[in-house]
């Protein structure tokens, strides 16, 4: 076995590139021609010789090198590759922001931010700052136990926000999976508590799907006595059945009355960020009834940018609540018919009463329909079919409004 004096006085012979002084149990000191002395422990994996660096002498003394060797041997006896474990520790040390839940979550948030819509980013930030950081933010994420996360989610449940509780858990799970990927946590503990949350049954947007009742609603919409801008938007909502936000923010530059087409830019569609940036616009064929409504609206708002500008600022569209309030004024509250629910109304009646192809309907709804091989259909593929369907739908609503209920 080596002595400290041997280590201190060791040198590399002139005729060698390296010189080794062997201690015991695979430990040796390697001396270079330049005089540097480094400790190594000889390893064997699947019969192949390797080595593990234990530091430089004299910074790492003979006694310290033996302790490091013994620690590595113990790891190996427990089934842990000490060389790989050392690499992992070095990678963990490169983590710049720390290993608390808050530091991990903020790093994950910044990494994902560019791929999210602004609405989704705001929601994720709210989940973190309101419901997770106050209770888990300062804890090392690798030390948090499932029962702690459950207690945190329970606070959300206690205020009656069951849907939010499930979203907060989803956010937490994404942070934990990022923590696992970056070496801050051993596993995703969020999976352990999914079954412990109170079930949340999402509510569908209220929608009338019976032709007779829909006819009654169309009649009262046409008799609406409010302002002409809101009346036009209210009439177009069931006629075109696009998402309320897409309808409210419609611009005259998107409307081609002669070609009877409304081109909604990809950036305004409900899509992922990549789809908004690089996707195709959504084309909405305009039936003659919609053209008539728009031509009457044009003298009122056509000199501006928006079809439906708000009263306070013509640079902003009417608010989310404007059409909801208009329906409520007509006696149709949110539990009977919602503005968004006109999509479900059209989808149901077009398929079940008017017998239109579901693929054509889904294309009109701007839903990405996939085939058996998982490929998405092009939303513009059925444009001619959709134009026919939209005119048929508009004519059908006219029939319903005068009391006819049979398909036309």
Quick one: the chain helix, strand, coil %, rounded to 5? 50, 10, 35
Q: Give Cα separations from 195 to 169, 179, 190, 384 (angstroms).
A: 11, 22, 10, 47
- How far is residue 128's CA from residue 171's CA, in Å, rounded to a whole number? 8
Catalytic-residue membership of 224: no
Helix 211-222 to helix 341-352 angle, to the nearest 10 degrees? Answer: 130
3-state secondary structure of 374: coil
- How far is residue 347's CA from residue 241's CA, in Å, rounded to a whole number? 9
Q: Which residues pair with 262 in a beta bridge?
A: 255, 284
Catalytic-residue membership of 178: no
Q: Which has the closest alpha carbon to 172: 136, 120, 216?
A: 136
- Residues 128, 105 contacting (CB under 8 angstroms): yes
Considering 37, 102, 343, 347, which one is annotated as catalytic? Answer: 343
Catalytic-residue membership of 377: yes
Q: Give Cα separations from 134 to 2, 101, 303, 309 (angstroms).
A: 56, 11, 50, 41
Considering 277, 295, 296, 370, which one is annotated as catalytic? Answer: 277
Beta-carbon neighbour count of residue 281 at 10 Å?
16
Beta-carbon neighbour count of residue 134 at 10 Å?
13
- How far is residue 321's CA from residue 317's CA, in Å, rounded to a whole number? 11
Token code pair at residue 226: 């409010």
Considering 123, 200, 377, 385, which one is annotated as catalytic? Answer: 377
Considering 340, 347, 379, 386, which one is annotated as catalytic? Answer: 340
Catalytic-residue membership of 367: yes
Considering 69, 184, 243, 248, which one is annotated as catalytic? Answer: 243
Considering 367, 385, 392, 399, which one is annotated as catalytic? Answer: 367
Q: Give Cα separations from 59 to 22, 56, 67 (angstroms).
A: 18, 6, 14
Token code pair at residue 387: 């134009």
Catalytic-residue membership of 231: no
DSSP-derived letter for residue 406 is: S
- If you count them, how many residues does the chain have? 408
- Residues 300, 309 contacting (CB under 8 angstroms): no
Q: Strand order in 282-285's β-sheet?
A: 255-256, 261-264, 282-285
Q: Which residues pair with 45 in a beta bridge?
A: 48
Which positions are catalytic?
243, 277, 340, 343, 367, 377
């Amino acid at each position: 076995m080596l002595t400290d004096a041997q280590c201190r006085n060791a040198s590399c012979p002139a005729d060698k590139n390296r010189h080794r002084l062997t201690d015991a149990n695979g430990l040796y000191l390697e001396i270079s021609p330049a005089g540097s002395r480094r400790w190594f422990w000889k390893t064997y994996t699947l019969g192949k010789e390797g080595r593990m660096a234990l530091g430089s002498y004299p910074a790492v003394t003979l006694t310290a090198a033996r302790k490091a060797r013994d620690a590595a041997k113990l790891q190996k006896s427990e089934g842990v590759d000490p060389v790989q474990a050392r690499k992992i520790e070095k990678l963990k040390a490169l983590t710049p922001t720390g290993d608390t839940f808050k530091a991990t979550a903020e790093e994950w948030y910044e990494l994902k931010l560019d791929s999210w819509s602004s609405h989704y980013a705001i929601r994720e930030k709210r989940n973190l700052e309101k419901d997770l950081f106050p209770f888990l933010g300062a804890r090392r994420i690798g030390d948090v136990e499932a029962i702690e996360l459950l207690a945190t989610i329970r606070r959300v449940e206690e205020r009656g926000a069951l849907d939010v509780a499930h979203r907060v858990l989803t956010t937490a799970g994404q942070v934990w999976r990022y923590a696992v990927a970056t070496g801050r946590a051993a596993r995703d503990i969020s999976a352990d508590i999914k079954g412990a949350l109170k079930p949340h049954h999402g509510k569908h947007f209220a929608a009338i799907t019976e032709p007779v009742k829909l006819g009654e609603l169309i009649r009262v919409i046409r008799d609406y006595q409010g302002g002409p801008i809101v009346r036009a938007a209210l009439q177009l909502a069931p006629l075109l059945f696009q998402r309320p936000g897409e309808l409210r923010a419609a611009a005259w530059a998107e409307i081609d009355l002669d070609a009877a087409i409304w081109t909604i830019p990809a950036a305004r569609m409900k899509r992922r960020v990549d789809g908004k940036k690089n996707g195709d616009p959504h084309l909405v064929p305009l039936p003659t009834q919609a053209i008539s409504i728009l031509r009457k609206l044009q003298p009122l708002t056509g000199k501006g940018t928006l079809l439906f500008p708000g009263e306070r600022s013509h640079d902003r569209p009417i608010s989310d609540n404007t059409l909801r309030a208009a329906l409520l004024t007509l006696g149709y509250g949110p539990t009977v018919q919602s503005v968004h629910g006109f999509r479900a109304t059209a989808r149901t009646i077009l398929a079940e009463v008017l017998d239109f192809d579901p693929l054509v309907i889904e294309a009109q709804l701007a839903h990405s329909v996939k085939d058996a091989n998982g490929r998405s259909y092009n939303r513009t593929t059925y444009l001619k079919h959709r134009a026919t369907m939209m005119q048929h739908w508009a004519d059908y609503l006219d029939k319903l409004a005068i009391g006819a209920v049979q398909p036309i």
